[in-house]
């Protein structure tokens, strides 16, 4: 039982690592000469999706095993501790991959300049990063217009109040990575990983 738990944790870690690397690669793509490479962006997104699915199933297995092992404890407490550990590790990893004092990986994904065509509205940041959460909301609202030529650039400041960050977090459309960052357990169960990678 414990060996399979260890294996599940290994796969969890591996999946997380791949997801974090994918984020870093996405960021690098945006700054590369020649503009965004659609093919590579798509492949990285697919890898992230695979890793996310695997991570999700591993987490579920991990939690189930935790529950079985600590059947005397409250379920919520057990999952909470499991999550806290993994989240701490995850946040630490993201910070390791940060590319500068001003930007961390998740923030940079949304920090669009005029050069980029990438709207990776899935990977919004931790709860501290209000700016990116607001951008998510912007993306969500602009989704209807995405099919047309004009897309609202998300480097414009959002006029919404920051209090709405709470609502945004509960939004089921938010992606796995942001959810794992924030430790919101429920979001993992129903996240379609958005595959929007270009906006034009």
Partner 1 sequence: MGEDGESPKINHSFLRDYVTEADVISTVEFNQTGDLLATGDKGGRVVIFQRETQSKGESEELGESGEYNVYSTFQSHEPDFDYLKSLEIEEKINKIRWLPQQNAAHFLLSTNDKTIKLWKVSERDKRPEGYNLKDEEGRVKDFSTVTSLQVPVLKPTDLMVEVRPRRIFANGHTYHVNSISVNSDGETYLSADDLRINMWHLDITDRSFNIVDIKPANMEDLTEVITAAEFHPKHCHLFVYSSSKGTLRLCDMRASALCDRHSKIFEEPEDPGNRSFFSEIISSVSDVKFSHSGRYLLTRDYLTVKVWDLHMEKGPVETYQVHEYLRSKLCSLYENDCIFDKFECVWNSTDSVIMTGAYNSFFRMFDRETGRGVTLEAWRESSKPRAVLRTRRVYTGGRRRRGDVGVDSLDFTKKILHMAWHPAENIIAIAATNNLYIFQDRVNPETQ
Query: Where does this chain bind partner 1 (CB under 8 A)?
Result: 14-15, 18, 21, 25, 33-35, 37-40, 42-43, 46-47, 50-51, 54, 113-115, 117, 143, 146-147, 194-200
- Of the candidates 170, 168, 169, 176, the one whose C-alpha atom is nearest the C-alpha of residue 194 is 176
CB of 162 to partner 1, least distance (A): 26
CB of 47 to partner 1, least distance (A): 6
- Of the candidates 21, 64, 60, the one whose C-alpha atom is nearest the C-alpha of residue 43 is 21
Instruction: Return the structure tokens found at 190.
Output: 């129903």
CB-count burial class (<10 Å; 0-12, 13-18, 19+) for 50? middle
CB of 1 to partner 1, least distance (A): 25
Residue 99 to residue 79: CA distance in whole angstroms: 32
Say what angle helices 2-31 and 38-69 make with each other, to 10 degrees: 160
CB of 24 to partner 1, least distance (A): 10
Question: Residue 18 or residue 182: which is nearer to partner 1 going by CB?
Answer: 18
Question: Residue 52 or residue 90: which is nearer to partner 1 going by CB?
Answer: 52
Question: Residue 43 or residue 77: which is nearer to partner 1 going by CB?
Answer: 43
Question: Residue 141 or residue 162: which is nearer to partner 1 going by CB?
Answer: 141
* Backbone CA torsion sign across 44, 45, 46, 47: positive
Question: Residue 17 or residue 160: which is nearer to partner 1 going by CB?
Answer: 17
CB of 106 to partner 1, least distance (A): 19
Residue entry with tokens 């984020």? 23
């Amino acid at each position: 039982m414990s060996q399979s738990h260890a294996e599940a944790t290994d796969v969890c870690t591996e999946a997380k690592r791949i997801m974090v690397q994918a984020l870093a690669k996405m960021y690098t793509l945006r700054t590369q000469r020649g503009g965004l490479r659609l093919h590579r962006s798509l492949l990285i997104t697919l890898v992230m999706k695979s890793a996310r699915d695997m991570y999700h199933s591993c987490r579920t297995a991990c939690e189930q095993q935790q529950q079985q092992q600590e059947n005397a404890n409250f379920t919520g407490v057990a999952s909470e501790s499991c999550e806290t550990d993994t989240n701490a590790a995850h946040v630490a990893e993201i910070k390791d991959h940060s590319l500068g004092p001003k930007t961390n990986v998740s923030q940079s994904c949304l920090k669009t300049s005029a050069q980029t065509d990438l709207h990776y509205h899935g990977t919004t940041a931790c709860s501290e990063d209000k700016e990116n959460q607001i951008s998510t909301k912007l993306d969500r609202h602009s989704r209807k217009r995405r099919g047309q030529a004009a897309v609202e650039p998300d480097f414009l400041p959002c006029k919404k109040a920051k209090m709405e960050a709470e609502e945004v977090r509960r939004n089921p459309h938010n992606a796995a990575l942001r959810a794992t960052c924030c430790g919101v357990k429920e979001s993992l169960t129903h996240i379609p990983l958005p595959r929007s990678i270009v906006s034009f």
